[in-house]
Amino acid sequence: MSETNELRTTAGGRHCSGNAVGLTRGAAKWLVESSWADRLFAERAPDWFSLENADTAELVKTGHGREVWRVTLGDWQFYAQVHRPSPGILPRRGSRMTPSAEREWNLARGAHARDVPVVHFLAYGRRSGEHAAEVLISEAVPDSETLAS
């Protein structure tokens, strides 16, 4: 099965405070800051939904239905929150319930548009189907410490 990439640019709007690129890779749909798309989805980039199989990823935290991974791509480090809902829980597009990672993406983008200092997400991805999941990617801040105990 070959993987296809379809790109479209979306300026502004509910989900984007700046320019974002819509990207489709297999069963996953992504919104990615346009300046980061090439770096996050380069040939050497991991499958963001299966980081447990990536030698460049380290699991740093787990919680109910969520994993946080530190991923190194060359000189860059990223954090990826992978949300894995219980089977049948991830709502369909058009439903009134918004998935948790998508809600977090939207809230952070809205806060950035209002100059509120919050985490800067670079990409939001959603994969539907039998292995449904969501991923939020942010750039790691050098020399930062986790607030979790």
What integer pLDDT is reported at residue 6 of this predicted model? 42
Higher pLDDT, 112 or 1: 112
Please give the Cα distance from 89 to 120 (Å, whole number). 27
Higher pLDDT, 50 or 99: 50
What integer pLDDT is reported at residue 117 of this predicted model? 85
**Is the model's pLDDT at 7 over the cut of 50?**
no
Supply φ then ψ for residue 37, to 5 degrees.
-55, -50
Place of tokens 């530190």: 70
What integer pLDDT is reported at residue 29 of this predicted model? 94
**Is the model's pLDDT at 147 over the cut of 70?**
no
Average pLDDT over residues 11-34: 72
Higher pLDDT, 67 or 8: 67
Please give the Cα distance from 20 to 14 (Å, whole number). 12
What integer pLDDT is reported at residue 79 of this predicted model? 95
**Is the model's pLDDT at 18 over the cut of 60?**
no
What integer pLDDT is reported at residue 53 of this predicted model? 92
What integer pLDDT is reported at residue 13 of this predicted model? 33
Q: Is the dihedral of CA 52, 57, 59, 63 positive or negative?
A: negative
Average pLDDT over residues 99-123: 87
What integer pLDDT is reported at residue 67 of this predicted model? 94
What are the tens digits of pLDDT across the range 44-93?
Answer: 899 999 999 999 999 999 988 889 999 999 889 999 999 987 655 545 55
